[in-house]
Amino acid sequence: MHEPDPRIVLGLHRSRYERRTLTSALDLGITAIDTSFNYQGFTAHATLADVAGDLLPHFTLSTKVGFFPAASQAEHSLDPARLRAALEQTNRDLGREPDLVFLHNPERSLRSPAAAARDALGQACATLAAAVEDGLCGAWGISTWDPRPLPGLVDATLPRPAVLMVSAGLLVGIDVLEASEALSAQWDVAPDQIWGMSPFGGDADNPLWGRLDPCIFISEADDAISALQAAFRTAFSLPEVGRIAVGTDNPTHLQQLIDALRYEPDADRLRTYRQILRDRTGRQAD
Ligand SMILES: NC(=O)c1ccc[n+]([C@@H]2O[C@H](COP(=O)([O-])OP(=O)(O)OC[C@H]3O[C@@H](n4cnc5c(N)ncnc54)[C@H](OP(=O)(O)O)[C@@H]3O)[C@@H](O)[C@H]2O)c1
C-alpha cells in the first residue's frame, strides 16, 4: 500500500465498476472516488455497494445529483424535491453517507430571465446545504461542465459550496477557463477545494495527443514522461486546481498518472499559452 495521494480522484463516469479497479486504486494510495446518481445507467451507487461495499469505508466518496431517469433518456432538473429524493436514495443505495455531493451541471436547467435562473440555482444550492445539515452528506459542491452562465448569477445571497469541480486541461477553451476562475473567486473557494475533471476530455486516444506535445508545458521534462502524463500534469494548472478527477479502470494507467505528479508544470509557458488562447478571441491579458 502506497502513501495516499489526495491529488488524484478516481472518476467512475466510464468505469466498468469492477472490484479490481477499487482494490488496485487502494493499493496505489488512491483513496478518493467520484461517481454520480446517473452513472452506469442510474445504478452506480447500488453497483458500488454490491461489488465493493466492504471497500467503501476506505474511500472518501463524492457523487452528484441533477440528472434523473426519464422515458427516453436522462433529464436534468434543479427541482428541490427531486434533488432531495435523489440524495435520500443515494444514502440508501450506497449504504453510507457520501462525503461530498455535487450539484451536477446546474447550467443545464437555468432559464432566462436572470432572476429566475438565480432563484432556481439558489433553491438547488439551499437543498444541498440542508442535506448537509440533515446528515445526508458530509459537504456539498458544484460540478459544472460549462460554468459560463454561472458567475453572473452568484451573489452573497446564494449558499456557498465547499468544493467546485470544473473541466481542466489543454482541451478547455479560454472562455470556460476564465468562467471557472471567476466562479471560484466569487464564491471564494480555496484553490485546494477546486477540483479539475476529465483531463483528457474523456478520450485518451484522441489523435490530438499525437500531434501536440504537452511535454513543452512541463519544467525539466525528461524522456520518461509521456504526452498523456504531461497533459495530465498540465491540467492541474488549467485552471489552478488541487485535485483532478480522472477515469481509468487500468492500474498501469493509474500508476502512470501517479508518476506524472512528480513533474511540475511550466508556469511561464502556460501563461504564454493562455495569452495565445486569449489572442485568438481578440482580447488582451488581464
Ligand atoms: N460534469 C461533470 O460533473 C463531469 C463531467 C465529466 C467528467 N467528470 C468527472 O471526471 C472524471 C473523469 O472524466 P472522464 O472519464 O470523462 O475523462 P478523462 O479522465 O479525461 O478520460 C478517461 C479516459 O482516459 C483513459 N486514461 C486514463 N489514464 C490513462 C493513461 N495513463 N493512459 C491511457 N489512457 C488513460 C481511460 O481509459 P482506461 O480505463 O483504459 O485507462 C479513460 O477512457 C469522471 O469520472 C467524473 O468523475 C465530471
Closest residue by CA, ligand 1 atom 34: 204
Indicate whether 284 pLDDT > 60: no
Determine the pLDDT at residue 1.
64
The mean pLDDT of 89-111, rounded to a whole number, is 97
Q: What are phi and psi of 7, to 5 degrees?
A: -80, -15
Q: Please give the number of the atom of ligand 1 that sits closest to the Cα of 145.
A: 1
Choosing from 140, 250, 257 the residue with most ligand 1 atoms within 8 A of its CB, the one to mutate for a pocket test is 250
Angle made by CA atoms 189, 9, 172, in degrees to the nearest 5: 65
Residue 104 near residue 37 (C-beta atoms within 8 A):
yes
Q: Rounded to an integer, what distance in angstroms lies between the CA atom of residue 21 and that of residue 246? A: 13
- pLDDT tens string 205-214: 999 888 889 9
Determine the pLDDT at residue 3.
77
Determine the angle formed by the axes of helices 80-94 and 114-133, rounding to 10 degrees.
30
Closest residue by CA, ligand 1 atom 5: 145
Q: Rounded to an integer, what distance in angstroms lies between the CA atom of residue 163 and that of residue 101? A: 9
CA distances from 133 to 17, 34, 95, 112, 184 (A): 30, 22, 19, 30, 23
12 lines ligand 1 (CB under 6 A): yes
Residue identified by cell 442510474 is 42
The mean pLDDT of 73-92, rounded to a whole number, is 97
CA of 246 to the centre of ligand 1 (A): 4
- Taking all residues of the chain, what is their mean pLDDT, rounded to a whole number? 95
Determine the pLDDT at residue 2.
74
Residue 65 near residue 42 (C-beta atoms within 8 A):
no
What is the chain's Cα-based Rg?
A: 19
Q: How far is CA 116 from the centre of its chain?
A: 26
Angle made by CA atoms 136, 138, 140, in degrees to the nearest 5: 90
Indicate whether 285 pLDDT > 60: no
- pLDDT tens string 263-273: 999 999 999 99
The mean pLDDT of 170-180, rounded to a whole number, is 97
Residue identified by cell 480555496 is 190
257 lines ligand 1 (CB under 6 A): yes
The secondary structure element, H or E, covering residue 220 is none
- pLDDT tens string 2-54: 777 899 999 999 999 999 999 999 999 999 999 999 999 999 999 999 999 99
Residue 240 near residue 194 (C-beta atoms within 8 A):
yes
As a three-state string, the secondary structure of 95-138 is CCCCCEEEEECHHHHCCCCHHHHHHHHHHHHHHHHHHHHCCCCC
- pLDDT tens string 61-72: 999 999 999 988
From the CB of residue 64, how many other CB atoms can be counted at a distance below 10 Å? 26
The mean pLDDT of 190-213, rounded to a whole number, is 93
- pLDDT tens string 104-154: 999 999 988 999 999 999 999 999 999 999 999 999 999 999 999 999 999
Q: What are 277's three cell numbers? A: 488562447
Residue identified by cell 488549467 is 238
H-helix segments, 188-266: 208-211, 227-235, 251-260
From the CB of residue 54, how many other CB atoms can be counted at a distance below 10 Å? 9
Determine the pLDDT at residue 283.
62
The mean pLDDT of 223-230, rounded to a whole number, is 95
Q: What are 69's three cell numbers? A: 431517469
Q: What are 247's three cell numbers? A: 477515469
CA of 203 to the centre of ligand 1 (A): 7
CA distances from 50 to 45, 47, 56, 89, 149 (A): 9, 5, 10, 15, 38
